Amino acid sequence: MKSATAHEVDYVVVGCGIAGLRAAIELAAAGRVLVLSKAELTESATQYAQGGIAVALSDEDEIGLHYQDTLKAGDGLCHEAAVKIMVEEGPRYIQELIDWGTAFDREGPRLAFTREGAHSRSRVLHAHGDSTGREIARVLFSRARALGSLEFLPFVFTSDLIVEKGRVAGVQILDEERGRASEIRARAVLLATGGLGQVYAETTNPAVATGDGIAIAYRAGAVLQDMEFIQFHPTALDVKGAPRFLLSEALRGEGGWLRNVELERFMPRYHEAGDLAPRDVVSRAIIAELERTGSEFVYLDMTQLDPDRVRARFPRIAATCAQYNLDLATDLIPVRPAAHYAMGGVATDLDARTTLPGLYAAGEVACAGVHGANRLASNSLLEGLVFGARAGQAMVKGYPAEKRSARQHAKAGSTPAPVAAGKKDPPAAEVEQRLARIRAVMWQKVGILRDARSLTQALETFRALAQPLPASPTRSHYEEENVRTVAEIIARCALAREESRGAHYRADFPFRRDALASKHSRLGQGEEVTFE
């Protein structure tokens, strides 16, 4: 690493997904904004979002129905005020996306909606069949880049927050392209770093989803909430040598069926909604069928539908299946559950403020209570859009930019600081081995089915793996530390919640406890898990 430098802007946004981009657009007119991405600017969970974005815009739908469906899926743990904001403000922000050029699919002149699990109406908008997130990101990037006060920096890893006098005053970064460590000072910081699926061996999440935002917020002293609630998507492609590619719930929304290896449609035995039951129910049903039949997968069956329509409606999924010699329309597609989405995260209020002054969070890294114990399908993009905008508005109001001269606005000082030389860094192979160990333990011990014994064993493993970072850590070192930190937090919260609710299922407590209804787990650094 070369010497560290200090740089000053008005606002820092960490992450380039839907929440980060929408917040940056909101911040652009207020001051100088720096948007950071640890990989390519386009590499985020938003880019991989297939099925769509849920919003009550069709003639047959109502905002009140979307609200009720979200609460029902959340299994008694949704923050009702947050849900109300999302479903009521969602249509306005969706219309804004359309006005900016988002090409949602249409049937003639009318927007096309599909239905997904636990929705009472067809309210899921989609684009290019199964590339909804990519289309929304395209439009947001186009809008953001047209605003002169936004600066984007790819391949910059945010390693920690700067906290001074009880408030966040900026971020510490590793600039991989330039090979240097830096400090960026800011009046306010937004974490929009996305998810944490890479703490599991089996996940649909991209490689960048290592829980960085949650880990750095926790280290800085922010409170986390509902971290035990991890949603496992029922249908990830299960082909030897293939990544766990997501097969959208919209496939079942369009009429696809699940079959076990005996070719039986099993979901009607588990839930009245059959193949469109809530995701946690479907995932547990699949696990039960795998154990009963001794198989490693079940099948997704689209063969009863018109083949041309299937391929046209899901071109990206069909193309991916074809890479593994599978025809989405005419073959039975092997699938099994994989870690997909975190309902919990950095605790925020309705304006994306965290418990640390100067720090905001939006999107999957945050927990405003919108999803409760189990996210309703396709609400994640909507949450990122609505609360990303609200975060930007709140940052401007809470931390208005100071007026600067043109020279100051361009660059507010560069102060070199030495970086410790340190001992020899652990080899990359050792880091990868530790990551593999953590991920395997999370999948086996802190997965779809949990109990006190497995959770305690997982915690013992993680604590034994704890070790200080090297004096000159690289991105891989930080990611490994973040994965271990987040894994331990999930296991601690899962052990503390002695009930089964939503996506959190305890085999030793297979029931809900009334005393924990509407009670959120809360955890800060150096504290025990509490329920509030």
Gap between the Cα atoms of 282 and 289, Å rounded: 10
* Residues with Cβ within 8 Å of residue 95, at least 6 apart in sequence: none
Q: What's the token pair of residue 408?
A: 């100051």
pLDDT of amino acid 75? 94
Under a CB-based contact definition with an 8 Å cutoff, are residues 56 and 177 in contact? no
The pLDDT of residue 412: 37
Residue 246 has pLDDT above 80, yes or no: yes
Q: How far apart are CA 310 and CA 312, in angstroms?
A: 5
Q: Can you tell me the distance from the alpha carbon of 147 to that of 324, in angstroms, rounded to the nearest whole number?
A: 42
Mean pLDDT taken over the chain = 91
Beta bridge partners of 341: 231
Question: How far apart are alpha carbons 220 and 160 in whole angstroms?
Answer: 8
Q: What is the pLDDT of residue 423?
A: 42
Average pLDDT over residues 273-293: 93
Quick check: is 187 catalytic?
no
More confident residue, 105 or 422: 105
- Residue 395 three-state SS: helix
**Alpha-carbon separation of residue 507 from 2, 202, 495 (angstroms):** 51, 21, 12
First to last CA, the chain: 44
Burial class (CB in 10 A: 0-12, 13-18, 19+), 333: buried
pLDDT exceeds cutoff 60 at 60: yes
Q: What is the pLDDT of residues 175-190, one digit of tens each?
A: 877 778 899 999 999 9
Question: Are the beta carbons of 417 and 7 closer than 8 angstroms?
Answer: no
Cα–Cα distance for residue pair 245/236, rounded to 1 Å:
5
Asked whether residue 464 carries a pLDDT value surpassing 60, the answer given is yes
Give 500-518 pLDDT, tens digit per residue: 999 999 999 999 999 999 9
- What percentage of the chain reaches a pLDDT higher than 70? 94
H-assigned helices in 399-474: 406-410, 428-445, 452-465
- Asked if the model's pLDDT at residue 53 lies above 60, the reply is yes
Q: Which amino acid, residue 250?
A: A
Lowest mean pLDDT across 253-257, 267-271, 401-405: 401-405
Q: What pLDDT sits at residue 130?
A: 83
pLDDT at 415 over 70: no
pLDDT-derived band at 369, boundaries 50, 70, 90: very high
Residue 63 and residue 88 in contact, taking contact as beta carbons nearer than 8 Å: yes
Instruction: Classify residue 176 as exposed, middle or buried by CB count within 10 Å of its CB (0-12, 13-18, 19+).
Output: middle
Judged by phi (left if over 0) then psi (alpha if -120 to 50, else beta), residue 471 lies in alpha
CA distance 257 to 134: 26
Query: 444 pLDDT band (50/70/90 cuts)?
Result: very high
Q: Span 405-431, mean pLDDT? A: 48
Write down all domains in the chain, each with its CATH number in brackets: 2-50+77-101+133-229+343-403 (3.50.50.60), 234-338 (3.90.700.10), 428-510 (1.20.58.100)
Flag whether pLDDT at 220 surpasses 70.
Answer: yes
CA–CA distance, 391 with 385 (Å, rounded to integer): 10
Point out the least confidently predicted range of 216-225, 273-282, 396-405, 489-498. Answer: 396-405
Quick count: other Cβ atoms within 10 Å of Cβ 240?
A: 7
Tell me the average pLDDT across 56-78.
96
CB 33 within 8 A of CB 11: yes
Stretch 218-238: mean pLDDT: 97
Q: 33-47, 255-269, 313-327, 353-367: which range is least confident on average?
A: 33-47
Q: How far, in Å, CA of 519 to CA of 532, rounded?
A: 5
Count of CB atoms situated within 10 Å of the CB of 428: 11
Q: Which of 32, 123, 143, 279 is catalytic?
A: 279
Mean pLDDT over 451-468 rounds to 95
Q: Which residues share a beta bridge with 246?
A: 236
Q: What's residue 468's pLDDT?
A: 85
